[in-house]
């Protein structure tokens, strides 16, 4: 595996691969890899001849009072894990190269960024789409793999790719969970043992929702009320949102059907966690 820091070197390598007729897959990350990231890398390896993993803690997607400064970082550890997954390139650009002092361009997808996480983090998705657009232009992948845990991000990226006519296929990887059901996240490292135990209310809520839908419940207001009770039973856990939305438009749904997604966001102590489930089949959300 090769580690590349400079944009010009990354583009030069990609151009050589593409000129040789080989397919290239990208896995964009902010690093501090866990088993979920490694699973994305393995999927990318099945999709293309070469895999590039980008590692960049993107300042544009953090708000002024968010966790940019304390976001976990360990390049040496990440490089070892990526190399074990047969990644070809670990692309680790500097902020100075990605965003020059006079950088003043943003890529914004309107509409679906105004709901769910976008309500509490109004500049977040603009930062995501801007950095992903830059990565697509620098690396020129044939496909890219994103995790389903960031479901809204996945929908936003797909819309951006479609509307800007990029010939890049976007693949979603199902949520990877710990043995106790907690969705894997680099931010889980912030949680104390007590907070981590309380965070399991997310998976408990998801399992409840799936069971109720399987039993025939289709009233989203009733389901949301039941889930609110499950989560609120945990002291120190604050609800950001509980929503049942359409998987494509992210608009609220009054009647739950197989095209609905349950989306959850909470704060446990000072840590914000998200989770979701497809009310039909998880495989449908991944294709």
Catalytic residues: 37
What is the C-alpha to C-alpha distance for residues 53 and 27, in angstroms, rounded to an integer?
5
Nearest Cα to Cα of residue 202 among 178, 186, 218, 220? 178
- For residue 173, count other CB atoms closer than 10 A to its CB: 21
Quickly list DSSP for 149-182: TSHHHHHHHHHHHHHTT---EEEEEPPPB-TTSP
What is the C-alpha to C-alpha distance for residues 106 and 126, in angstroms, rounded to an integer?
7
Contacts of 19 (CB under 8 A, 6+ apart): none
Nearest Cα to Cα of residue 92 among 4, 13, 2? 4
SS3 of 62-83: CCCCCCCCCCCCCHHHHHHHHH
């Amino acid at each position: 595996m090769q580690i590349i820091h400079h944009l010009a070197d990354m583009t030069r390598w990609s151009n050589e691969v593409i000129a040789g007729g080989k397919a290239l897959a990208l896995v964009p990350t902010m690093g501090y890899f866990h088993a979920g990231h490694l699973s994305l890398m393995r999927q990318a390896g099945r999709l293309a001849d070469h895999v590039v993993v980008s590692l960049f803690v993107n300042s544009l997607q953090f708000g002024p009072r968010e966790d940019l400064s304390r976001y976990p970082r360990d390049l040496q550890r990440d490089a070892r894990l990526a190399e074990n997954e047969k990644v070809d390139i670990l692309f680790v650009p500097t902020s100075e190269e990605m965003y020059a002092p006079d950088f003043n361009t943003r890529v914004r997808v309107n509409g679906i960024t105004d709901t769910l996480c976008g309500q509490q983090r109004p500049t977040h998705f603009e930062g995501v789409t801007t950095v992903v657009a830059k990565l697509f232009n620098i690396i020129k992948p044939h496909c890219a793999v994103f995790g389903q845990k960031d479901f809204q991000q996945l929908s936003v990226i797909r819309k951006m790719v479609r509307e800007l006519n990029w010939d890049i296929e976007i693949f979603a990887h199902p949520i990877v969970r710990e043995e106790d059901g907690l969705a894997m996240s680099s931010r889980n490292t912030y949680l104390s043992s007590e907070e981590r135990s309380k965070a399991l209310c997310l998976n408990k809520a998801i399992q409840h929702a799936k069971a109720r839908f399987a039993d025939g419940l289709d009233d989203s207001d009733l389901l949301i009320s039941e889930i609110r009770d499950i989560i609120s039973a945990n002291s120190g856990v604050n609800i950001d949102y509980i929503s049942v939305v359409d998987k494509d438009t992210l608009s609220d749904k009054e009647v739950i059907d197989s095209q609905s997604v349950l989306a959850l966001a909470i704060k446990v102590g000072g840590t914000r966690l998200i989770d979701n489930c497809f009310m039909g089949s998880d495989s449908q959300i991944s294709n």
